[in-house]
Amino acid sequence: MRHPGPQTPPSLDAVIVGAGVVGAACAYYATRAGLSVAVVDRGPVAGGTTGAGEGNLLVSDKEAGPELDLARLSIRLWRELAEALPPEDAIEYEPKGGLVIAPDETALHALHAFARGQRRAGVTAHEVPADALHALEPHLAPGLAGGVHYPADAQVQPARAAAALLRAARRAGALLRLGEEVTAVLTGPGGAVRGVRTARGDLHAPAVVNAAGTWGGRFAALAGTHLPVLPRRGFVLVTEPLPPGTVRHKVYAADYVTDVASDSAALQSSAVVESTPAGPVLIGATRERVGFDRTLSTPALRRLAAQATALFPALADVHAIRAYCGFRPYLPDHLPAVGPDPRVPGLHHACGHEGAGIGLAPATGLLVTAALTGAPPPLDPGPFRPDRFPPPDGPPPQAPPPRASPPQAGPPPPDGAS
* Mean pLDDT within 274-299: 90
Amino acid, res. 392: P
- Per-residue pLDDT of 148-201, as tens digits, reads 999 999 999 999 999 999 999 999 999 999 999 999 999 998 899 999 999 899
Residue 114 above 80 pLDDT?
Answer: yes
Rounded CA-CA distance 281/49 in Å is: 20
Residue 72 above 60 pLDDT?
Answer: yes
Rounded CA-CA distance 74/58 in Å is: 9
Asked whether the beta carbons of 137 and 248 are under 8 A apart, the reply is yes
Asked whether the beta carbons of 415 and 327 are under 8 A apart, the reply is no
Q: Which domains does the chain have, with CATH numbers?
A: 14-71+158-228+333-388 (3.50.50.60)
pLDDT number for residue 3: 35
Rounded CA-CA distance 368/386 in Å is: 12
pTM for the whole thing?
0.89
The rounded mean pLDDT for the chain is 89
Higher pLDDT among residues 410 and 227, named by residue = 227
Asked whether the beta carbons of 360 and 70 are under 8 A apart, the reply is yes
Poorest-pLDDT segment among 39-53, 258-272, 393-407: 393-407
The backbone torsions φ and ψ at residue 21, rounded to the nearest 5 degrees and listed phi first, read: -70, -30
Asked whether the beta carbons of 296 and 215 are under 8 A apart, the reply is no
